[in-house]
């Protein structure tokens, strides 16, 4: 039975600060649950991500991480630390790399504090793990999870865990799925439609392929297969002329919460888009993914699809990639006229279209 408040019965997990990293952290969270099946596992997440975190089946409770600025933030850290202290957790896994995340669990008096040795915080951790800058981020998070003692008191042998743990991943609600059903109905699509999810959005503009190329991608795919449907994540900087959506079998996906976005994704055949949070959510839901990479490194942050789904990473592979993304202080070539790095601009529409067609034909994309 879960819910013990003894030190051995509660584990705190400070989730990463970005949506994509939360998705990559799912196997690590599930590994903690596998090691401590009867423990109460409390997740901490940014307020904007709490809704998504509450869909993680391996977590029993989710609390917002500290927010605000200056003195208000310091007070928020203290309040959360005192709340955690009352929970008497025996261990904390700090997946967010910030000093503040480690300080919070240190102030809470949690005896076992596990995290990466980053941001000058090693003294606040009992288990300060050296990060592997060339390894995949998901594996680095699994290495932290492996430090959590299991129910018998021993640690796992290594940082690996099964990628698929039944029943623990993202548990969407009936309300989430009603939103997706309504969106499909508004588009005039049947309930069993399986569109291509197109994501032109990205948190960092220099990671975003141009809106014009995304429009050209949809037009190319629609021309090759009339009747194909597209669900476009209609967020800045994407824009389309009047009538463009209807003319190409596309519908807008806008105004969704993160759980609602997941409900839309799980009804799609394949994801194609930028290296951003939705790519990792799609992979976590078992969708085939086609992800466009510019200055970042697929081997470090590429999607990890579940259920054996296909993952295609499209990149121009410049000699200077991956870079530190100091745009454009270090880039050997000037940016494009719309402010994108040349490694991203060098990826042609035809190459991405071919990757999407391969992914759509994969067994995982079938209804």
Q: Which two tokens stand for residue 133?
A: 């800058």
Query: What pLDDT score does 7 carry?
Result: 56
Paired strand residues for 63: 44
Tokens coding 209? 């392929």
At residue 117, the pLDDT reads 97
Query: What are the CA-CA distances from residue 248 to residues 160, 162, 215 (Å)?
Result: 44, 40, 10
Q: What's the pTM?
A: 0.91
Is the pLDDT at 52 greater than 60, yes or no?
Answer: yes
Burial annotation 140-175 (CB, 10 A radius, 16+ → b, else e): bbbbbbbbbbeeeeeebeebebeeebeebbbebeee
d(CA 95, CA 171): 21
The predicted pLDDT at position 273 comes to: 96
Q: Within its chain, how far is the Cα of 8 from the centroid? A: 30
114 pairs with which residues across the strands? 93, 127
- What's the pLDDT score for residue 162? 42
How far is 62 from 80, CA to CA, in rounded Å? 12
Position 285 scores a pLDDT of 94
pLDDT of residue 152: 54
Between the CA of residue 187 and those of 147, 229, 260, what are the distances in Å?
48, 10, 16
Confidence of residue 69 (pLDDT cuts 50, 70, 90): very high
Model confidence at 362: pLDDT above 90 = no
Average pLDDT over residues 316-341: 71
pLDDT confidence bin for 206, thresholds 50/70/90: confident
Neighbouring C-alpha atoms within 13 Å toward the C-beta of 173: 12
Looking at residue 340, what is its pLDDT? 79
> pLDDT tens, 83-140?
999 999 999 999 999 999 999 999 999 999 999 999 999 999 999 999 998 899 999 9
pLDDT, position 183 = 96
- Give dist(CA 349, CA 344) in Å, integer: 11
Question: What pLDDT, on the 0 to 100 scale, is given for residue 19?
Answer: 96
- The pLDDT of 68-91, averaged and rounded, is 96
* pLDDT score at 364: 65
Q: 111-115, 128-132, 147-151, 344-348: which has the minimum mean pLDDT?
A: 147-151
Burial 198-219 (b: 16+ CB within 10 A, else e): bbbbbeeebbbbbbebbbbbbb
Over the stretch 156-203, which tens digit does the pLDDT of each residue have? Answer: 544 444 444 444 589 999 999 999 999 999 999 999 999 999 999 887
Q: Which residue has the higher pLDDT, 259 or 298?
A: 259
Q: Among 77-81, 94-98, 208-212, whose mean pLDDT is lowest?
A: 208-212
38-60 core/surface letters (b: 16 or more CB in 10 A; e: else): ebbbbbbbbeebbebbebbbbbb
3-class SS of residue 39 = coil
Average pLDDT (35-43) is 95
Outline where the chain has alpha helix (H). Answer: 19-35, 50-53, 70-87, 99-107, 137-145, 174-186, 211-224, 244-247, 258-265, 277-284, 298-301, 342-345, 349-360
Q: How many CB atoms lie within 10 A of CB 334?
A: 9
What is the pLDDT at residue 352? 97
**Whole-number average pLDDT of the chain:** 89
pLDDT score recorded for residue 121: 97
């Amino acid at each position: 039975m879960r819910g013990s408040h003894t030190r051995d019965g509660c584990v705190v997990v400070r989730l990463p600060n970005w949506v994509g990293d939360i998705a990559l952290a799912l196997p690590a969270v599930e590994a903690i649950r596998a090691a401590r099946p009867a423990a109460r596992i409390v997740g901490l997440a940014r307020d904007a991500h709490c809704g998504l975190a509450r869909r993680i089946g391996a977590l029993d409770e989710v609390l917002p991480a500290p927010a605000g600025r200056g003195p208000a933030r310091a007070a928020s850290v203290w309040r959360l630390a005192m709340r955690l202290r009352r929970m008497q957790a025996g261990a904390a896994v700090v997946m967010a790399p910030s000093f503040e995340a480690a300080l919070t669990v240190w102030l809470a008096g949690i005896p076992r504090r596990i995290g990466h040795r980053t941001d000058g915080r090693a003294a606040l951790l009992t288990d300060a793990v050296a990060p592997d800058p060339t390894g995949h981020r998901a594996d680095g998070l699994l290495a932290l999870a492996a430090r959590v003692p299991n129910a018998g008191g021993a640690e796992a042998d290594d940082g690996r865990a099964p990628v698929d743990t039944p029943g623990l991943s993202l548990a969407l609600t009936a309300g989430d799925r009603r939103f997706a059903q309504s969106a499909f109905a508004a588009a005039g699509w049947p309930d069993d439609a399986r569109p291509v999810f197109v994501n032109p959005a990205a948190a960092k503009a220099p990671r975003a392929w141009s809106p014009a190329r995304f429009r050209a991608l949809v037009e190319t795919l629609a021309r090759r297969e009339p009747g194909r449907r597209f669900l476009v994540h209609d967020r800045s900087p994407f824009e389309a002329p009047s009538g463009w959506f209807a003319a190409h079998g596309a519908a807008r996906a806008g105004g969704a919460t993160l759980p609602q976005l997941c409900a839309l994704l799980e009804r799609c055949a394949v994801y194609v888009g930028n290296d951003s949070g939705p790519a990792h959510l799609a992979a976590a839901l078992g969708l085939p993914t086609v992800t466009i990479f510019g200055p970042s490194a697929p081997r470090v942050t590429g999607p990890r699809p579940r259920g054996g789904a296909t993952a295609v990473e499209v990149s121009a592979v410049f000699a200077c990639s991956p870079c530190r993304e100091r745009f454009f202080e270090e880039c050997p070539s000037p940016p494009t006229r719309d402010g994108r790095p040349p490694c991203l601009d060098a990826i042609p529409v035809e190459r991405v279209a071919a990757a999407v067609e391969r992914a759509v034909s994969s067994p995982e994309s079938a209804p």
